[in-house]
Every structure is written in structure tokens, then in C-alpha cells.
């Protein structure tokens, strides 16, 4: 990854993205290196992975919702300021 400047919504998603990657990593660890055991381990490992990812959705929505709301409010305030500055005195 580069050191690009991330928006507030992208920054808000970082903790969830890290948790999702850790869940995938845990799935791979749970499956183990022995292909002969994969058939037996897959159902339980899949349930853990899917449950973990589903549990991440509410926190992502909260963090993203706050960031989106801040961005929308900032844009609206900018428009209001622009319109007030353009308004000619009566």
C-alpha cells in the first residue's frame, strides 16, 4: 500500500478491514496445512468466518455512517456559506 491520503470514510473503514483480514487469516489457520483434514474442518471454520464477518457489519455501518454524515454536513455548510457570500444586501 502507498501512503496516500485517505478520506474520512476510508479511515473509518480501516479497523473493520483489519478485523476482516484477521478473520480470513484465522480461517486459514483453523483449516490447517493437512488437506486430508480440510473436509472435516471446513464446516466449522466456515461458520466461524461468516459469523465473524457478519458481526463486523454493525461496527462498519456506525463508523462509516458517522464519517458520511460529517462529510455531508461539511458540504451543506460549504454551500450555505457560498450562498450567503453571494447574496447581495437588500
Task: List the domain boundaries for the chain.
Answer: 11-85
The one-digit pLDDT tens for each residue of the chain (90 residues) are 556 788 888 888 899 999 999 999 999 999 999 999 999 999 999 999 999 999 999 988 888 888 888 889 999 999 999 999 998 776
Question: In the structure, how many helices (H) and strands (E) does the chain have?
Answer: 2, 0
pLDDT at 90: 62
Q: Which residue do the cell numbers 472435516 mark?
A: 40
The end-to-end CA distance of the chain, in Å, is 54
pLDDT at 2: 59
Handedness of CA 14, 16, 17, 23 (dihedral sign): positive
Amino acid at each position: 500500500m502507498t501512503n496516500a491520503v485517505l478520506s474520512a470514510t476510508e479511515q473509518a473503514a480501516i479497523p473493520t478491514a483489519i478485523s476482516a483480514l484477521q478473520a480470513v487469516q484465522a480461517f486459514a489457520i483453523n483449516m490447517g496445512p493437512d488437506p486430508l483434514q480440510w473436509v472435516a474442518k471446513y464446516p466449522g471454520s466456515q461458520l466461524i468466518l461468516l459469523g465473524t464477518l457478519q458481526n463486523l457489519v454493525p461496527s462498519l455501518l456506525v463508523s462509516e455512517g458517522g464519517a458520511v454524515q460529517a462529510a455531508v454536513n461539511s458540504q451543506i455548510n460549504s454551500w450555505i456559506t457560498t450562498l450567503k457570500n453571494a447574496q447581495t444586501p437588500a
